Structure 1
Amino acid sequence: MNEVSRRSVLRLLGAGTATATLGPYLAGCSAAGGAAGTGNSGREAAPWPTFVKAVGPTPDLPATLADSAVNGYYTYPSELMQSVAEPPGDGSKISAQILTYSPPPNPASANKLWAAINQALNVDLQLNLVPAAEYAQKLAAVTATNDLPDTMLITSMPRAKQFVAAKCADLTEYLSGDAIKEYPNLAAIPQYAWEAMGHVDGGIYGIPLPRARAASVFHVNRDQLDGVGATDDWTRDQFVAAMKACSAGGRYGLGTWAGGGYAVEVFAGAFGAPNGWRVDGGTFTPAYAAPEYKEAIAFARDLVKSGTFHPNSNTASQNDIMTQYYAATLAAVPGNFMNYANGVYFDRVGGRFTTDVSLPIGGQHSYLGSGIFGYTVFKKADPERIKMLLRICNYLAAPYGTVEYETVSLGLEGEHFTRTSDGLTKTALAETENENTVPVKYIADAMEFIQVPGNRKATQRGFEVYEKVVALGTPNPSLGLDSETADKDSVALGQKLSDLANGIIAGRNDLAEWDAAVQTYLRDGGQKMADEFAAASAAR
């Protein structure tokens, strides 16, 4: 299997954390959290951008979910399309603050990929690459000053929208409605991503980085499950039986990590708990108060009691637990669906077993992810510079199968890859110069796609599971809505309930404590969040 199409063509978002699934933008939110910000202050909300389907190759597996479309491709296209007619820049310097999950790359003067991107864009792109673990702190520090970069990735940050309203460019006149058609690759961003970003004072101030909507799923060792007679359409009882059968001889059915919450969110979604909030007649009620959520806690507790969870499932690092999954010590782990659908876990398993993704337990319910990694904002500038920055983002958001995508994501033919009848083969230089080390995808990005290179069966499987899971999914109704209380208190209040849930599951606390804790949550700010979300929803 060729290495470019395996590692570089595909979007590597992480390995199954909330950050990987939702992006840092929502990683800090609790089950009953939401995106917070500034209200519309009496300004009528601007229409969202008109959606226009992206140019690109005809997919082998065309999406049927109109509002959550993710196409599937068996192979890298032999002929590319062009989505941008001419270099979008004006030769000036552009500063951009984004995060990175990779070591620092060589500067543009000694980096052929970075230099190629600069040439294609006709700008001198100055990247301020901040390690992902430090990004929230760096973002808070920069936004507290008036010395802002030209573009900046906004992720999870208290009072983010207040900062955006005060110091960033209002892009409404360029992006609202049909105006976005001037930037067709940005027009291909699905509406749910714009909605998750939300309005700021009724306007559109950012460009969302779209993501597929499948939330966390269980990645499973299909060989082990087949060995114990587990089926794909398992019930709760069948799931429990399979996990118990896989827990013997130093192996365990399930594993999570510190902060993984014993996969309660995956169980809750499958059991029909509301995603974040339940809305009934305009009234918001937190998922924590739902009986299905309490059932999920009890279900995880019983699994721990039965010995099916790895004993370090609430203390080990994610890397340690995932290493045990790759070594076939664990039969199932929760994680980002796209790490199956883009082939990442196939690389890490290395043929030791058949890695797969499971359908939700019971096959009736699932959570939808936010569909957004974060969003990019611009420093205030004159209209011509704003338009130029929008053209830059339009180029960077070029979809799979275009000349622009290949330049940004793969680099130069002969330098970073060679073209063969089977696709592309990565060169040694691409080990250090690739879309992860020069991650301009965190300035603007196209919609994800499904492709497990060299594995038609897995590509087909990933596409079918995605369509089934998303069709069953429910969105978080608080996405894009504003709540000052959620902005200030949702993380701290949610952490208290998360700690209690972990205690109940581990056997340190009793399930009978849960209802009183939820009432305390409501009294200490949860009810105020609910009321503020309800008011924001009514005004939308």
Structure 2
Amino acid sequence: MISRRALLGGSAAAAAGLAGLSGCATVTRSTDIAALNRPVALPTFQRFDGPKPDLPLTHELMPDCFYRFPADPVQVTQGVPGDGSEITGTVQTSNPIPPTADRNPYWQELNKRLGSPLRLSITSASDWGSKFATAVAGDTLGDMFNVDGGFAYLPQFLEARAQDLTEHLSGDAILEYPFLANLSTESWRGCVYSGGIRAVPIQRGVMSSNLLLARQDLLDQFGVDLTSPDLDELIKAAVAVTDERKNRWAFAVPPTAALSSMLGLPNDWEVRDGRLVHSRETEEHKEMLGITAKLQADGLIHPDGISKQNQKVWFSQGSAVMTQDTYSSIQSFYRRNTVEGFAITLPLVRDRAGKIGRFLLGSPNNSIATIKPGSPERTKLMLRVLNWMAAPFGTQEYLFRKFGLPERHYTLNGTDPVLTEAGGSEVCLGEFPIQYLADGGYPVYFPGHPEAVDVAYNHLKAILPTAATKPVYGTYSPTQSTKGKILDSRMDATTKDIQLGRADLSSWDQAVADWRKSGGDAIRHEYEEALAIQGRR
């Protein structure tokens, strides 16, 4: 067993997070790929019979799309899920941390509706990794907690510190929790470790996919068409909108998502000639690096776009006409923006054959969350609470969870809830961190901006037929778990050096060779074995 001190020392230390865990006999199985990736019957999917989407589902991965919130949301739960006992938990948030329960009317009402007081330890997402490791070491995660997906030896940790939920959620057993059953089958794949369902998904689906966003209002102002550009047309448009003297650049950050589609890159990994190949091993990836380096050298990327992470501000204020973000970010851009006429478009980038480029989909889940081992009665209580938190769009439960109390936290614009200043603070900008314990599926819904729903829907309709999923999602590689963060950080550093002109493009070949030798080839082999065990290769 490894010491607590080692646990807190970083990535290798996270591997030591098994120190002091009860039931850690499985540590010796850390390289047993078959045991770690043993499949289990996934939960039965049963779609919630809620409001009909405003636009047709043209693809199995198409999220529900709504122009407006239903005028008469239905209450879909009876009574309260809790039993009066306190529930503790640990979560992250990407927004400012909300006021504590004693100063927060939203949280107080949440406790009433849960039927159990909820005491949360909330941490900024930027500090989440270290906070999680500290909480593991001190055994202070609580009754339910979001899980750091990069935590080393994650299956062993979950076996020791998380309730095995298989008997409660596998197959038709999940139907006792209908809102959890409304989550996609693919999202549950990311909750299976060592032959057991050990967590619930924080599902985002395709909404978490990175893509190119552009300010349509600025494009119109400059007379630039960016509807469906190929590489040359994208660069030409970038030159046209850039004016350094006016503090305006084409790109907030290197447009790697668009370039990946244009060049046909793998979605991290891809099977080529019978073996897994990582994107960074391909000539297309190296070409993408060369393009981004030239964009930077030509002054088309914000001068701080590679070294700093402030692209949301630059895009919102117009210092960058294009940025890279997710479908789900569209709502936050509209919610926070005060620029008159502000409008977002999603260019449909084309490859060199003139076809819509192969889009790289994000992971089905933002993260996962789980509960600590307990009695069958306590486990069912926790699952009832998580089920309540997953009530889907169009319900009264969802309306309260995301927008709080009428008049104090939101007012209505037609049937659409609009957060007040108190709602922004107390409801955490509509993203109170219980969404990292459980949440419903993420719809395409941007309150007050039905035109943005059309933009997202049309883009999804065009890209989904040929989009590429992550082929190793739902498998576990011990080497990736223990060495992946370090290896990836080295490759990221080389990437930035090339993009900033501090290293020649030719240095990429040696970096890839070092990555393979230091663990990349071992990761490949483990993923290949895992896929074979699960019958997916």
* Coarse TM-score class (shorter-chain normalised): 0.7 to 0.9
| C-alpha separation in 2, matches of 1:299 and 1:177 | 48
| C-alpha separation in 1, matches of 2:37 and 2:241 | 57
Q: Which residue of 2 aligns with 1:485?
A: 479
| C-alpha separation in 2, matches of 1:43 and 1:243 | 45
| C-alpha separation in 2, matches of 1:310 and 1:43 | 43
Matched, 1:125 2:130: no
Alpha-carbon shift at residue 346 of structure 1 (Å): 6.0
Q: Which residue of 2 aligns with 1:323?
A: 313
Q: Which residue of 1 aligns with 2:339?
A: 350
1:201-220 maps to which residues of 2 (within 5 A)?
A: 201-214=194-207, 215-220=209-214
Alpha-carbon shift at residue 522 of structure 1 (Å): 0.9
Distance 1:86 1:38, change over 3 A: farther
Distance 1:419 1:312, change over 3 A: closer
1:92-171 maps to which residues of 2 (within 5 A)?
A: 92-155=85-148, 156-171=150-165
- 1:322-355 CA distance string (max 9 Å, x none): 3332232322111122222x25346425225433
| C-alpha separation in 2, matches of 1:88 and 1:419 | 28
Alpha-carbon shift at residue 102 of structure 1 (Å): 4.0
C-alpha contact (below 8 Å) 2:36/2:155 kept by paired residues: no
Matched, 1:238 2:233: yes
C-alpha contact (below 8 Å) 1:38/1:482 kept by paired residues: no
Distance 1:219 1:37, change over 3 A: farther
Q: Which residue of 2 aligns with 1:394?
A: 387
| C-alpha separation in 2, matches of 1:496 and 1:148 | 31
Q: Which residue of 1 aligns with 2:289?
A: 297
What residue identity is the alignment partner of 1:433?
E
Specify the SS of the correspondent of 1:58.
coil
Q: Which residue of 1 aligns with 2:69?
A: 76
Distance 1:91 1:75, change over 3 A: same
Which deviates further from its counterpart, 510-519 or 444-453? 510-519
C-alpha contact (below 8 Å) 1:72/1:451 kept by paired residues: yes
C-alpha contact (below 8 Å) 1:273/1:291 kept by paired residues: no
Distance 1:254 1:361, change over 3 A: farther
| C-alpha separation in 1, matches of 2:252 and 2:218 | 18
| C-alpha separation in 2, matches of 1:250 and 1:423 | 37
| C-alpha separation in 2, matches of 1:57 and 1:525 | 48
| C-alpha separation in 2, matches of 1:335 and 1:425 | 23
C-alpha contact (below 8 Å) 1:418/1:427 kept by paired residues: yes
What residue identity is the alignment partner of 1:161?
P
Alpha-carbon shift at residue 446 of structure 1 (Å): 0.5
| C-alpha separation in 2, matches of 1:281 and 1:143 | 42
Which deviates further from its counterpart, 467-476 or 149-158? 467-476
| C-alpha separation in 1, matches of 2:100 and 2:194 | 38
Specify the SS of the correspondent of 1:143.
helix
Distance 1:459 1:121, change over 3 A: same
Unaligned runs of 5+ in 2: 1-29
| C-alpha separation in 2, matches of 1:409 and 1:187 | 20
Alpha-carbon shift at residue 175 of structure 1 (Å): 0.7
Specify the SS of the correspondent of 2:35.
coil
Which deviates further from its counterpart, 409-418 or 392-401? 409-418
Q: Which residue of 2 aligns with 1:495?
A: 489
Q: Which residue of 2 aligns with 1:272?
A: 264
C-alpha contact (below 8 Å) 1:39/1:200 kept by paired residues: no
Q: Which residue of 2 aligns with 1:10?
A: none
Alpha-carbon shift at residue 212 of structure 1 (Å): 3.1
What residue identity is the alignment partner of 1:278?
E
Specify the SS of the correspondent of 2:345.
strand
C-alpha contact (below 8 Å) 1:37/1:161 kept by paired residues: no
Instruction: Give the superposed CA RMSD.
Output: 2.4
Distance 1:105 1:502, change over 3 A: closer
C-alpha contact (below 8 Å) 1:212/1:369 kept by paired residues: yes
Alpha-carbon shift at residue 113 of structure 1 (Å): 1.2
1:37-76 maps to which residues of 2 (within 5 A)?
A: 39-41=33-35, 44-66=38-60, 68-76=61-69
| C-alpha separation in 2, matches of 1:90 and 1:301 | 58
C-alpha contact (below 8 Å) 2:215/2:322 kept by paired residues: yes
Specify the SS of the correspondent of 1:391.
helix
Alpha-carbon shift at residue 147 of structure 1 (Å): 4.6
- 1:476-532 CA distance string (max 9 Å, x none): 212221111111112222222222222222222222222232122111110010000
| C-alpha separation in 1, matches of 2:72 and 2:407 | 17
Specify the SS of the correspondent of 2:286.
helix
Alpha-carbon shift at residue 418 of structure 1 (Å): 4.3
Distance 1:470 1:92, change over 3 A: same
Alpha-carbon shift at residue 110 of structure 1 (Å): 3.6
- 1:78-111 CA distance string (max 9 Å, x none): 1112322331111111111111234443433442
Distance 1:220 1:533, change over 3 A: same
Alpha-carbon shift at residue 273 of structure 1 (Å): 0.7
| C-alpha separation in 2, matches of 1:348 and 1:358 | 21
Distance 1:217 1:367, change over 3 A: same
| C-alpha separation in 2, matches of 1:457 and 1:43 | 44
Specify the SS of the correspondent of 2:197.
coil
Distance 1:424 1:148, change over 3 A: closer
Specify the SS of the correspondent of 1:313.
coil
Distance 1:385 1:346, change over 3 A: closer
| C-alpha separation in 2, matches of 1:380 and 1:337 | 36
Q: Which has the higher contact order (CA 8 A, sep 6+)?
A: 1
Q: Give the alignment's TM-score, normalised by structure 1.
A: 0.86
Specify the SS of the correspondent of 1:77.
coil
| C-alpha separation in 1, matches of 2:342 and 2:100 | 40
C-alpha contact (below 8 Å) 1:183/1:390 kept by paired residues: yes
Specify the SS of the correspondent of 1:318.
coil
2:79 to 83, 86, 110: 86
Q: Which residue of 1 aligns with 2:452?
A: 458
Q: Number of matched residues?
A: 496
Q: Which residue of 1 aligns with 2:377?
A: 384
Q: Which residue of 2 aligns with 1:504?
A: 498
| C-alpha separation in 2, matches of 1:480 and 1:474 | 15
Alpha-carbon shift at residue 198 of structure 1 (Å): 4.3
C-alpha contact (below 8 Å) 1:503/1:509 kept by paired residues: yes
| C-alpha separation in 1, matches of 2:526 and 2:38 | 18
Specify the SS of the correspondent of 2:192.
coil
| C-alpha separation in 1, matches of 2:119 and 2:417 | 29
Q: Give the alignment's TM-score, normalised by structure 2.
A: 0.86
Distance 1:345 1:37, change over 3 A: farther
Which deviates further from its counterpart, 104-113 or 379-388? 104-113
Alpha-carbon shift at residue 380 of structure 1 (Å): 0.5
Distance 1:187 1:487, change over 3 A: same
| C-alpha separation in 2, matches of 1:235 and 1:104 | 42
Which deviates further from its counterpart, 396-405 or 464-473? 464-473
2:250 to 254, 257, 281: 254
C-alpha contact (below 8 Å) 2:191/2:368 kept by paired residues: no
| C-alpha separation in 2, matches of 1:358 and 1:283 | 33
| C-alpha separation in 2, matches of 1:307 and 1:427 | 40
Alpha-carbon shift at residue 368 of structure 1 (Å): 0.4
Alpha-carbon shift at residue 162 of structure 1 (Å): 1.7
Q: Which residue of 1 aligns with 2:323?
A: 333
- 1:257-306 CA distance string (max 9 Å, x none): 5xxxx333542243211111121365212111112111211221222233
Alpha-carbon shift at residue 240 of structure 1 (Å): 1.0
Alpha-carbon shift at residue 253 of structure 1 (Å): 4.2
| C-alpha separation in 1, matches of 2:372 and 2:328 | 32
Specify the SS of the correspondent of 1:63.
coil
Unaligned runs of 5+ in 1: 1-35
Alpha-carbon shift at residue 61 of structure 1 (Å): 1.7
